Homo-oligomer: A and B are copies of this chain.
Amino acid sequence: MNLLVVGSIALDTIETPFAKVGETPGGSALYISISASYFTKPIGLVGVVGDDFPGDVIEELRNRGVDLRGLQIINGAKTFRWGGKYHYDMNTRETLFTYLNVFADFNPAIPDEFKSSRYVCLGNIDPGLQMKVLKQVRNPKLVIADTMNFWIERKYDELLETLKYVDVLIVNDAEARQIAMEPNLIKAGKKILKLGPDVVVIKKGEHGAVLIIDGTIFTAPAYPIESIQDPTGAGDSFAGGFAGWIAKTDDISEENLRKAVIYGSAIASFCVEDFGISKIRNLSWDKIQERFIAFRELTRFEIK
């Protein structure tokens, strides 16, 4: 397996100032897999759903080259559900409900065929579960992980333990500050580098992303979107594009990590243009490439 993806698979109910969508497929592992599938295959997906999860989405994943031997489908049980509401500026969101359902007892069992995966992308789940995954895989080249405030507040010690085995941590600005307990974002990133990761990517929503490696900082803008429909999954799509590009190229040089940030930003910019996974499931390599080039146009300036 080239890329192993572990995370949540959900049915989301999303409310924005403009529309409301109920029970739409979501979850970190779904966004990551779909996004990464434009870059690399096969992708090994490990997750859990109930028998109420739409079969056409599962079929679509299979067609995308996602190996589903690690997907547990629990008969007679319900898929994880999340409901969230975005406020007027689309930057702040409120969780309306969380029903763990099948996710409550999720114990990620990595199929033997996935255990030698070269690249591992851990979506935002309990850091204890992330650690369980890492104990099952054999010497991956690169471990990429996400987390969130919920775990930083409730499982800080487990998170610190997991971070020792993470190579690239992808978090948003608030999470970076919270993990490092440091308000300055650059200082926070550098503090996280001392906790285990060699690379930190800090996502700043409409303000872009920052890549921090020892001695190097790279900044990427967000693609200017005049009409953001739904920010849900943007961070996971970023991680999927980032991980997908790295897995495709099998190159973890600083130069290539910079490009991975741009590919992640490109996929995230598509993600917010429609609700849920609607936009990212309908991309093409040409569209992604076109947006990659648009990022160059957005940032280039002459030196002399």
Which A residues have a C-beta under 8 Å from some C-beta of B? Answer: 88-89, 183-187, 204, 206-208, 210, 217-221, 224-228, 255, 258-259, 261-262, 292-293, 295-296, 298-303
Q: Across the interface, do B89 and A183 meet the contact criterion of CB distance under 8 Å?
A: yes
Q: Across the interface, do A88 and B183 meet the contact criterion of CB distance under 8 Å?
A: yes
Nearest opposing residue in chain B for A257, CB measure = B301
Q: Across the interface, do A226 and B187 meet the contact criterion of CB distance under 8 Å?
A: yes
A187 to B228, CA, bound (A): 12
Q: Across the interface, do B219 and A299 meet the contact criterion of CB distance under 8 Å?
A: yes
Q: Across the interface, do A255 and B217 meet the contact criterion of CB distance under 8 Å?
A: no
CB contacts (< 8 Å) of A183 on chain B: these are 88-89
This protein's copies in its complex? 2
Q: Across the interface, do A301 and B187 meet the contact criterion of CB distance under 8 Å?
A: no
Among A88, A219, A226, A301, the most chain B Cβ lie within 10 Å of the Cβ of A301
CB contacts (< 8 Å) of A217 on chain B: these are 224, 298
A126 to B195, CA, bound (A): 51
Contact A301 B258, CB 8 Å, known A204-B207, A208-B221, A219-B221: yes
CB contacts (< 8 Å) of A88 on chain B: these are 183
Q: Across the interface, do B301 and A262 meet the contact criterion of CB distance under 8 Å?
A: yes
A190 to B204, CA, bound (A): 23
A148 to B302, CA, bound (A): 31
CB contacts (< 8 Å) of A293 on chain B: these are 303
A292 to B300, CA, bound (A): 13
Contact of A218 among B219, B226, B298 (CB under 8 A): B298
A262 to B304, CA, bound (A): 12
